[in-house]
């Protein structure tokens, strides 16, 4: 029984490491939704670029790029960002589904890293945009 427990821990450890390598962001690059909502409400987003890389730009003030799992939208994001300063604070989000299943956030975040953006963040919407933003009555692009 002890060996079975050790094997399960070992397998979970390997799986956990594999999951970490799949995510191109660090925990420090996740932005809490409450923080972003507060900045929007307090009009403190002048130096912040909010980009939707999913099906719809729901968050107030966000730019709609479209789902970045589609090559044409990933290219649209690249073109949109080409003249943006590399130190600009950028927050991307999708929210179509849980992070582990989202087809859009990894290509978009990888592109930000590839283009050399130093202050890129991913909005921490682990479940989806409805649960993690809309249900909390955070600001939207009505």
Give the pLDDT confidence of 46-67 residue by residue, as tens digits: 999 999 999 999 999 999 999 9
Q: What is the mean pLDDT of the chain?
A: 86
Q: In what order do the strands lie in the sheet with 63-64?
A: 30-31, 120-123, 89-93, 48-52, 63-64
pLDDT band at 25 (very low <50, low <70, confident <90, very high): confident
Q: How, if at all, do strands 63-64 and 89-93 pair? A: unpaired
pLDDT of residue 78: 98
pLDDT tops 50 at residue 12 = no
Are 104 and 96 spatial neighbours (Cβ–Cβ below 8 Å)? yes
> What are the backbone dihedrals phi and psi of residue 134, each rounded to the nearest 5 degrees, phi first?
-65, -45
Q: Is the pTM of this model over 0.75?
A: yes
pLDDT tops 80 at residue 6 = no
Residues 6+ apart with CB under 8 A from 105: 53, 68, 92, 93, 94, 99, 122
pLDDT tops 60 at residue 11 = no
- Mean pLDDT across the stretch 105-122? 96
pLDDT of residue 8: 35
pLDDT of residue 23: 80
Q: Which helix (H) or strand (E) holds 50?
A: strand 48-52
pLDDT tops 50 at residue 20 = no
């Amino acid at each position: 029984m002890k060996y079975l427990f050790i094997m399960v821990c070992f397998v979970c450890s390997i799986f956990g490491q594999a999951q970490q390598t799949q995510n191109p962001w660090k925990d420090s690059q996740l932005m809490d939704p409450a923080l972003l909502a507060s900045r929007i409400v307090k009009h403190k987003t002048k130096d912040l670029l909010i980009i939707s890389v999913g099906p719809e730009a729901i968050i107030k003030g966000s730019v709609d790029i479209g789902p970045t799992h589609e090559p044409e939208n990933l290219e649209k994001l690249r073109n949109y960002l080409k003249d943006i300063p590399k130190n600009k604070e950028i927050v991307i989000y999708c929210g179509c589904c849980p992070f582990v299943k989202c087809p859009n956030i990894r290509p978009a975040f990888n592109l930000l890293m590839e283009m050399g953006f130093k202050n890129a963040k991913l909005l921490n919407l682990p479940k989806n945009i409805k649960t993690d933003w809309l249900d909390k009555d955070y600001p939207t692009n009505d």
